[in-house]
Amino acid sequence: MLISLSEAEIGKSYRVVQLHGGLNFQRRIAAMGIFIGGEIKIIRKAPFKGPLLVDINSSVVAVGRNIAFKIHVEEI
């Protein structure tokens, strides 16, 4: 089932399936290692609709909610 990364749950791992954003958006997140087909693990979430802390190939990245919205993933 496809969900946006912002709905993902802490402690679970996901595979990136779709990216809903333009070239600039794709470039920016690719720079941090987020690619379609890649794995993302949710480490924690900030309250008040704050960012998510995720593990991407063993580097840790904070991803704002409005960015996470555009990343669609499925659980693995």
Partner 1 sequence: MKFLLVGQPNCGKSTLFNQIAGYKAIESNFPGTTVSYTESKFILNNETISIIDLPGTYTILPHDYAEKVTRDYIFKNDFDIIINVLDASTLSRGLELTLELLEMEKPMILVLNMIDSANAKGITIDENELSKILNIPVVKTIGNKGIGVEKALETAYSNAKTKIVNKITFRKDIEDSILKIEKCIKQFIFNKRFTAIKLLEEDDFIQGRVELCGETENVLSGIKKEIENSHGINSAMVISYERHGLAMDIFERVSKFSKPKKNFTKIVDDVLMHPLWGYFFLVIIVFTFFNIVFKLGQPVEGWLTTIFDNLSHLLERYFPTSQFIGSIISGTINGLSAGIGIALPYIFPFIVGLSFLEDIGYLPRIAFLVDAFMHKIGLHGKSIIPLITGYGCNVPAILSTRNMNNESDKFKTAFLATFVPCSARTIVIMGLVGYYLGGNMALLIYVINIFVIAVMGKLLTKMDNEPSPGLVIEIPTYHIPSIKSLSQKTWFRLKDFVYVAFPIIIVSSVTLSIIDYFKLTDWINRLLSPITTFILGLPQKVGVTLIFGIFRKELTLIMLNQALGTDKIATVMSKTQILVFTLFIVFYVPCVSTIAALKMELGTKKTVLITVTTILVALVIAFSARIIGTFVY
Does position 57 interact with partner 1 (CB under 8 A)? The reply is: yes
- Residue closer to partner 1 by CB (options 60, 76) is 60
Q: What does DSSP assign to residue 69?
A: T
Does position 58 interact with partner 1 (CB under 8 A)? The reply is: yes
Amino acid at 74: E
By rule CB under 8 A, what string of x and - marks binding of each residue 15-54 to partner 1? --------xxxxxxxxxxx-xx-x----xxxxxxxxx-x-
Q: CA 73 to CA 4: how far, in whole Å?
A: 6
Helix%, strand%, coil% for the chain, nearest 5: 20, 40, 35
Interaction site with partner 1 (CB under 8 A)? 23-33, 35-36, 38, 43-51, 53, 56-67
